[in-house]
Amino acid sequence: MKMRTLSIGTFNLYNLNEPGLPMYSDRDGWSHEVYGRKIAWTQHVIGLLRPDILGFQELWHGNSLKAALEASGLADDYDMLVPDDADGQKIVCAAIVRRGLLEGDPDWIVAFPERFLLKSTGDDPQTPEISVAIESFSRPVLHFRIRPREDEPAVQVYVCHLKSKSPTKVYREAWFHENEDIYKKHQNSLGAALSTIRRTAEAAALRFLLSEQMKGTRTPVIVLGDINDGQHSNTANILTEQPRYLVGDSKGGGDVSLYTAQTLQEYRSTRDVYYTHIYKEFRESLDHILVSEEFYDNSRRRLWMFDGMTVANDHLNYDDHKESGTSDHGVICATFKHRPIKVEAREIAEGGT
């Protein structure tokens, strides 16, 4: 296989589950009518985009994704990556991959890396000791490999869903009940802080995995998903390592850097109109496509060139997702053309003759 273009998308399914199964505090789950609308809208989006890779978040039941894919008429075109235990009892990440692209078997990463630590005695005498004891991802990270071109290395793909900004429900904790008169007025700020700590730890653990794989190698990497934070957030900065974006000669590219499709799109537009979520009238980009230097236009090791991105978000203008079957997130899709940097340019950039 020697693909000339590669399209990549990410899609939060807004709790796609079989009808009648409980989710969170909703013991009744989706009705058959709402479930039918969710399947109809999901299959419409799949059929509209038809990407080579589409990562999913907030899937509860594998049969629900299978039903949507079959309804799209594209089931024969894709391999569906869903864990065996996706039986409606918990949230998982999933994906569909165009037939012939997948190499090997997918895996779902639950535990943080064995040697990953978030612990410090402080940078100076004024900084108190800190230790964060989180050992696993809230939503297992889906990892798989694709090989769009047989003459180039396999691409490592990660689909993630990091902890949301919603405040952790501390009112359920024993320490809260024991001193409710003290903690009740602080529950939102304490809960938000805990969610931020958890999301930050998850981003750092994923970054640890990425750096282990990318450092000193020529391994192309793609990270897809709902990181529940914006383009310039600390969460995104941890994942990307804040690379420099160059517009001039092809001398750029970082060994462990990731580049946001949002920024690459901004280079091709006079306005930033990208948002994938609305909360309290605030429009924000929570869903991201991050790519390694092999997909960055100005990298001296470029293999693929960015060719544009679409954002399906018109449905966010209507707060009727439970009734209409739509998602409460926008769906993004980026396309890359295979266009390796010329050998001569690479040699000049690296100091050759």
Question: For 189-200, how does the pLDDT look when each residue is reduced to its tens digit (9 = 90+)?
Answer: 999 999 999 999
Structure tokens at 320: 């009727």
Q: What angle do CA 234, 206, 66 make, to 5 degrees?
A: 110
* 351 has a pLDDT exceeding 50: yes
**Could you tell me the two tokens for 35?**
């479930």
The predicted structure's pLDDT at residue 353: 41
The fold of the 5-111+141-162+221-349 domain, in CATH, is Deoxyribonuclease I; Chain A (3.60.10)
Q: What is the pLDDT of residues 200-226, one digit of tens each?
A: 999 999 999 999 999 999 999 999 999
Average pLDDT, whole number, for the chain? 90
- Nearest C-alpha neighbor of 145 from the set 239, 53, 57, 226: 53
Q: What is the pLDDT of residues 31-46, one digit of tens each?
A: 999 999 999 999 999 9
- Of 78-87, 96-105, 328-337, minimum mean pLDDT range: 328-337
DSSP 143-209: EEEE-SBTTSPPEEEEEEEPPPSSPP-GGGSHHHHHTHHHHGGGHHHHHHHHHHHHHHHHHHHHHHH
Q: What is the dihedral of CA 45, 97, 265, 59, to 10 degrees?
A: 50
In the predicted structure, residue 130 carries a pLDDT above the cut 80: yes
User: Has residue 348 got a pLDDT over 90?
Assistant: no
